[in-house]
Each structure stands twice: as structure tokens, then as C-alpha cells.
Amino acid sequence: MTCWKRSNRRPYLAEGKVDMDLVDLIREKRFLGQEFLTWLWYQCELNSGLIQVKDFGTVEIWFEERMVLDSGRENQRQSVTCQGRDLSLAEARTALRQGKKVSQARLRLASADYEWRMTIKAESLEITGLSLPRTLDPRDENKADLAGRLLDRVALIQEITGFIDKLFAQFISIRLSDNWAEKELAGIRRWLIDQSRESA
């Protein structure tokens, strides 16, 4: 997934050391991932979990089980972790109002008859802990050949990474538009205020 352009320089040097230009670039742009997860959380609650994504149609997305927010300051970073099967995000909203930013979140995504679960890290938009949907009846899984099952899993991974790419591109388009400050950002602020009043 690429959200900026850079030269064709290799990210790793011959000695095996990390190219510090790339590391600095990731750190510099990490706020986009944090804003993306915050915007997605807002959109999910605003639209009861239903998100319209180009080429994918309507997809259901829920934040569940675990969310981490931090202050974003390198030297004095403070984190808040909210987790549990019956996750209440009241503490996470409080942390957001205090200036902390979403650094990672556990998502459940449903499209048609398929359902994925994953954790997205804001800094790099890395997907971890990916749980793929079942496409075979459990009674038929042992009968399916190994190559067929592998290709099926590869197709499911490509589908979910393609979806996240499209969703992030949709966010970037909104983020760079003239409506970002007046509409989206103002809406997020109103949402946090309203949630604060409801929990008071």
C-alpha cells in the first residue's frame, strides 16, 4: 500500500541497515493513518457500520475487541488500550477528546457472505492478526486439494487488501478536498461532543 511517491531507491542498504529516509518518511506521514482510523470509526458510528466503497458496494465494518490510542509524542508517548469482547469505546472517545490518536484498532468487516477480522496499525497501515472467512464447507475441506485451498486463501487476502487500499484512497480524496475542515472534521468534533453528553 502506497500513500506517497518516492524514488526507486531500495529501502534497505547493502549492509542490511534500514534506509533512514524511508523510516523518517513513515514517521512523518503516520498522522494520516491515525486520521484514517479516526475517520473510519466516525463513519461507522454515523452510518451504523455501513460504508460505501467504490467497486465494493456497501460493506459492514465494526470496531471491536481492541483499540489503542496514544499521544503521538515520541519522547513522552502515553497509550490507552481498550479491549474486551463486549468492548465499550467510551474510554477511547474520552482519550480522543484529550488529544490522543488512534494508533491501532481491531476491525470486523462483512461483505456479502464473507467476514474478515483484522488489526490495522495506523503508522504503516499494516494488517495483522488477519482472520479469513470460510469459503468451504468444513465437511469438504479435507477433500479439497492443498493447492486449491492455498489459492482460495490468496484470493481472500488480495480481496481484503484491495478493499483497504480503496477505502484509504477514498479517505485521502476526502482529506484533500475543500470539505475536510468544514464538513468531515467539524462532524467528527460534533460526534465527540454528542458522545460526551450522552455518557455524562
Q: What is the pLDDT of residues 88-126, one digit of tens each?
A: 677 888 888 888 889 999 999 998 888 999 999 998 899
Supply the pLDDT for residue 88.
66
Q: Three cell numbers at 79?
A: 497509550
pLDDT at 51 exceeding the cut of 80: yes
Residue 53, strand partner residues: 57
Supply the pLDDT for residue 8.
44
Comparing 77-86, 124-133, 146-155, 159-168, the range with the smallest average pLDDT is 77-86
| Number of neighbouring beta carbons within 10 Å of residue 122 | 24
pLDDT at 12 exceeding the cut of 50: no
Domain segments of the chain as ranges: 29-199
Which H or E element spans position 58? Answer: strand 57-70
Q: What is the pLDDT of residues 182-198, one digit of tens each?
A: 899 999 999 988 876 66
Supply the pLDDT for residue 110.
93
pLDDT at 7 exceeding the cut of 50: no
Crossing angle between the packed helical segments 186-199 and 20-46, to the nearest 10 degrees: 60
Confidence of residue 173 (pLDDT cuts 50, 70, 90): very high
Provide the residue type at 75 as one letter.
N
Please state the pTM of the whole predicted model: 0.79
**Which of 9, 199, 38 minimizes the C-alpha distance to 122?**
38
Supply the pLDDT for residue 80.
86
For range 37-41, the mean pLDDT = 94
Residue 120, strand partner residues: 105, 127
pLDDT at 11 exceeding the cut of 80: no
